[in-house]
């Protein structure tokens, strides 16, 4: 410590590098129990660590994990009282968010990321205009500053001890902080600290802002998911990386949950579904209907899931070393089968593409032995460098990967997040640009939100990619809150879903100019925004397409949900997950959300049906019927009524009436809809109103061998209970 402190005339430690730090109105406390405008009091008796991070950065994510372990280590140290009269040196960790991307400046985005990364070990500050970054001369992410105590009232502020850039400093920090705390406990007295604090100028009101609001997860209490990162569909199975719950969820097309694997606590454990553990799992790849592979991102491993044996094993060990190329697997973020024998791994942590080879195989003119893990592409430098030689190309945090085409014309598409581009690996093994990014391979700051062609396209940290054959690619443009489509031949990229603002709305595609059976008209150019029926997403990170190229499944990460884009109807619905229900008793029927209904109906329907209509017959209406209304709500399409109308009796002599609805779209995950009836009538010198709720469940029939129609009409014959209308 001699280089950082000198003894003053009184023999006390005097700092050599004190730093005056103030949190002004441009800086916001995101997570703290004690918001404050400076660190003068804290600096009297604490080691203070600053972690400058941005939540998109994979190196920052690694550093956050290291600091979590450092904080846990320091907290576990023996707190034996130091020398009588001396201080008990404390430890404070402040993570300062200094954004790279525009979306990262927004408070809600940071709050979501703090919860997604479970940063409960640290206080968090948002510095959207990088005030502290510039004041302290920071130049890269992540940067860690370590400050020691300062009890000099004439030169206040924490005293700088170390500056560490990049990741990988966990062991040094654990030792350095522990040694420093012991040193200060032996050299600073409580009397000195109290004298210093008494001399400080007392501030008035708090200058820094304090973030207020509900927990972003609790704001969607109905969801079973927490920050789902990826989704994959295979036949009748939907597999979801429930990343925030550290588990894998598998459902059928109706959303009925078949398996929950791992969770909720993170860990690394093979075994049965109930005992196995993942840590922030992301990408998923089906080998077939019985075997799934998972990018176990937080464990730096690739796991294998057998749905037959109901067991989890490890395919690629954590941080698997590839000695020939002096690299190892870190933060695998997505997976894709190039062929039945080759599994590609997009490793965001090392900016490379790896492969696991189940059989002896030649890939891009290089032979690989059976059951080996090897590097396929990428130098390891974080760049946007295209090249005809795979190992001379460079990537920038590849977070999405998909493979399409015939065996001889197979093409790989990559979401290269930090370069904000979509790139390809051709069948010949050449890495090329598709859309977005910059021609300069070292420019990773060309981003935005612009449709167009090739390099004119501007994206913002895309994380998901899927393809409908070689010619059409869909991407999750994550920080623009959009889904976009690319015509591979023309390199034209256009927006399908979202208007660029974060939201959670079901509705229509941007280009849908026709009302699509939802009671929704497309907004005019002056009405695109929060009041429009456009579907809105919030940082979608994963995307998958079904085998028939009819639906795109979207991991709507910050909305804790799976959305589905209907490519034909150009609407967005929601996949509502449901646990298997126990045997039915005599209690009133309930919806999947627990709401009670008056009567329940079950309709059997073929998966091939695309549209349906309802005919409702309401029996035993009162003789004094005065009218009423009806509404149909399809939760997967919209929380608001999709259709509505009036109850009218054409013939006053009849005791029933009939309602014919307009056409509604059907999807296999539409498990239920609600019919709400309001009946008005007069009786016993008074006017009455009765509200009735009908629950309609859908049951999928097995497909017949012969082709079936795509439209169907259902008749619901409803007779209310005798006491409904007062006898």
Grade residue 9 by pLDDT with cuts at 50, 70 and 90.
low
Does residue 605 share a domain with residue 558? no
The pLDDT of residue 214: 54
Asked whether residue 710 carries a pLDDT value surpassing 90, the answer given is no
Comparing 726 with 719, the larger pLDDT belongs to: 719
Secondary structure element (H or E) that encloses residue 181, with its range: helix 170-187
* Interval 363-390: pLDDT, tens: 999 999 999 999 999 999 999 999 999 9
The pLDDT of residue 221: 56
Asked whether residue 118 carries a pLDDT value surpassing 60, the answer given is yes
Does residue 231 share a domain with residue 184? no
Residue ending a domain, among 575, 609, 628, is 575
- Residue 27, CA atoms < 13 Å, CB-side half-sphere: 25
Closest CA to 347 of 371, 380, 303: 380
Does residue 202 share a domain with residue 242? no
Does residue 339 share a domain with residue 249? yes
The pLDDT of residue 382: 98
Closest CA to 384 of 443, 340, 334: 443
Residue ending a domain, among 210, 234, 256, is 210
Looking up residue 450, the CATH number of its domain turns out to be 2.120.10.30
Range of the domain at 304: 225-575
Residues 253 and 255: their CA atoms lie apart, in Å, by 5
Within 524-642, strands assigned E span 542-545, 551-556, 561-566, 571-575, 599-606, 611-618, 625-633
Q: Residues with Cβ < 8 Å from 60, sequence gap 6 or more?
A: 53, 54, 141, 142, 167
Q: Is residue 588 part of a domain?
A: no
Residues 31 and 117: their CA atoms lie apart, in Å, by 13
Asked whether residue 167 carries a pLDDT value surpassing 90, the answer given is yes
The pLDDT of residue 164: 97
Does residue 232 share a domain with residue 203? no
Comparing 124 with 529, the larger pLDDT belongs to: 124
Asked whether residue 361 carries a pLDDT value surpassing 60, the answer given is yes
Mean pLDDT of 204-220: 66
The pLDDT of residue 240: 99
Please, what is the average pLDDT of the chain?
Answer: 90
Asked whether residue 204 carries a pLDDT value surpassing 70, the answer given is no
Does residue 248 share a domain with residue 197? no
Rg (alpha carbons) of the chain, rounded to whole number: 30
Mean pLDDT of 451-467: 99
Does residue 343 share a domain with residue 373? yes
Does residue 100 share a domain with residue 15? yes
Comparing 701 with 532, the larger pLDDT belongs to: 701
Does residue 697 share a domain with residue 561? no
Most confident of 262-266, 450-454, 569-573, 585-589: 450-454
Q: Is residue 217 part of a domain?
A: no
Name the one residue in this structure whose structure tokens are 């525009």: 102
The pLDDT of residue 11: 62
Q: List Cα–Cα distances, 201 to 40, 43, 204, 717, in angstroms.
A: 10, 14, 10, 79
Grade residue 526 by pLDDT with cuts at 50, 70 and 90.
very low
Asked whether residue 481 carries a pLDDT value surpassing 90, the answer given is yes
Comparing 641 with 54, the larger pLDDT belongs to: 54
Comparing 649 with 532, the larger pLDDT belongs to: 649
Asked whether residue 523 carries a pLDDT value surpassing 50, the answer given is no
Paired strand residues for 400: 415
Looking up residue 60, the CATH number of its domain turns out to be 3.40.30.10
Paired strand residues for 372: 357
Residue ending a domain, among 186, 210, 234, is 210
Domain count of the fold of the chain: 3
Q: Is residue 368 part of a domain?
A: yes
Q: Residues with Cβ < 8 Å from 253, sequence gap 6 or more?
A: 236, 238, 607, 668, 669, 700
């Amino acid at each position: 410590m001699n280089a950082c402190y000198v003894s003053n005339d009184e023999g006390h430690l005097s700092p050599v590098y004190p730093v005056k730090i103030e949190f002004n109105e441009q800086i916001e406390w995101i997570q703290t129990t004690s918001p404050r405008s400076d660190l003068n009091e804290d600096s009297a008796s604490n080691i203070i660590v600053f972690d400058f991070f941005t939540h998109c950065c994979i190196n920052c994510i690694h550093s956050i994990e290291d600091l979590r372990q450092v904080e846990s280590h320091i907290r576990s140290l023996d707190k034996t009282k130091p020398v009588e009269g001396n201080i008990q040196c404390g430890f404070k960790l402040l993570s300062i968010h200094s954004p790279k991307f525009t979306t990262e400046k927004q408070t809600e985005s940071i709050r979501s990321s703090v919860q997604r990364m479970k940063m409960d070990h640290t206080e968090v500050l948002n510095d959207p205009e990088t005030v502290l970054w510039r004041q302290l001369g920071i130049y890269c992410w992540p940067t860690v500053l370590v400050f020691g105590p300062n009890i000099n009232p004439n030169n206040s502020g924490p005293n700088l001890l170390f500056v560490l850039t990049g990741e990988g400093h966990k062991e040094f920090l654990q030792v350095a902080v522990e040694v420093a705390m012991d040193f200060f406990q032996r050299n600073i007295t409580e009397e000195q600290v109290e004298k210093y604090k008494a001399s400080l100028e007392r501030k008035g009101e708090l200058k820094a802002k304090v973030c207020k609001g509900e927990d972003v997860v609790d704001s969607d209490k109905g969801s079973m998911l927490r920050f789902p990162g990826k989704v994959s569909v295979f036949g009748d199975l939907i597999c979801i990386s429930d990343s925030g719950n550290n588990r894998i969820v598998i459902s059928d097309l109706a959303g009925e949950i078949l398996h929950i694997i791992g969770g909720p606590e993170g860990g690394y454990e093979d075994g049965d579904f109930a005992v196995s553990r993942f840590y922030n799992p992301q990408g998923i790849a089906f080998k077939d209907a019985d075997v799934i592979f998972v990018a176990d991102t937080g464990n730096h491993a690739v796991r294998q899931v057998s749905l037959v044996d109901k067991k989890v094993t490890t395919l690629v060990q954590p941080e698997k070393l590839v000695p020939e190329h002096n690299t190892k697997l870190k933060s695998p973020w997505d997976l894709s089968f190039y062929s039945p024998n080759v599994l590609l791994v997009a490793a965001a942590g090392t900016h490379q593409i790896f492969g696991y080879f189940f059989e002896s195989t030649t890939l891009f003119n290089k032979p690989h032995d059976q059951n080996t893990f090897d590097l396929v592409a990428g130098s390891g430098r974080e760049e946007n460098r295209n090249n005809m030689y795979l190992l001379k190309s460079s990537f920038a945090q590849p977070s999405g990967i998909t493979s399409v085409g015939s065996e001889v014309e197979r093409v790989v598409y990559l979401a290269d997040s930090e370069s904000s581009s979509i790139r390809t690996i051709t069948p010949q093994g050449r890495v090329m640009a598709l859309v977005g990014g910059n021609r300069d391979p070292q420019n990773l700051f060309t981003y935005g939100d612009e449709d167009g062609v090739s390099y004119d396209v501007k994206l913002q940290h895309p994380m998901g990619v899927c393809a409908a054959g070689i010619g059409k690619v869909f991407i999750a443009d994550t920080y623009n809150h959009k889904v976009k489509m690319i015509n591979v031949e023309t390199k034209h990229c256009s927006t399908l879903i979202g208007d660029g603002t974060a939201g959670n709305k079901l509705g229509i595609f941007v280009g849908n100019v026709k009302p699509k059976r939802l009671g929704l008209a497309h907004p005019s150019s002056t009405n695109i925004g929060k009041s429009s029926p456009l579907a809105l997403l919030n940082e979608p990170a994963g995307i998958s397409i079904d085998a028939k190229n009819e639906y795109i499944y979207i991991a709507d990460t910050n909305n804790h949900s799976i959305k589905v884009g209907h490519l034909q109807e150009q609407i967005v619905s929601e996949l509502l997950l449901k646990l298997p229900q126990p045997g039915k008793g005599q209690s009133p029927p309930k919806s999947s959300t627990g709401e009670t209904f008056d009567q329940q109906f079950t309709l059997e329907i073929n998966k091939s049906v695309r549209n349906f209509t309802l005919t409702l017959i309401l029996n035993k209406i009162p003789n004094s019927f005065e009218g009423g209304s009806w509404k149909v709500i399809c939760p997967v399409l919209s929380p608001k009524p999709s259709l509505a109308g009036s109850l009218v009796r054409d013939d006053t002599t009849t005791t029933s009436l009939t309602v014919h609805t307009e056409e509604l779209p059907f999807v296999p995950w539409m498990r239920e809809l609600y019919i709400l009836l309001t009946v008005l009538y007069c009786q016993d010198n008074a006017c009455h109103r009765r509200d009735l709720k009908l629950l309609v469940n859908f049951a999928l029939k097995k497909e017949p061998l012969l082709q079936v129609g795509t439209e169907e009409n259902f008749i619901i014959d409803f007779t209310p209970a005798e006491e409904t209308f007062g006898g």
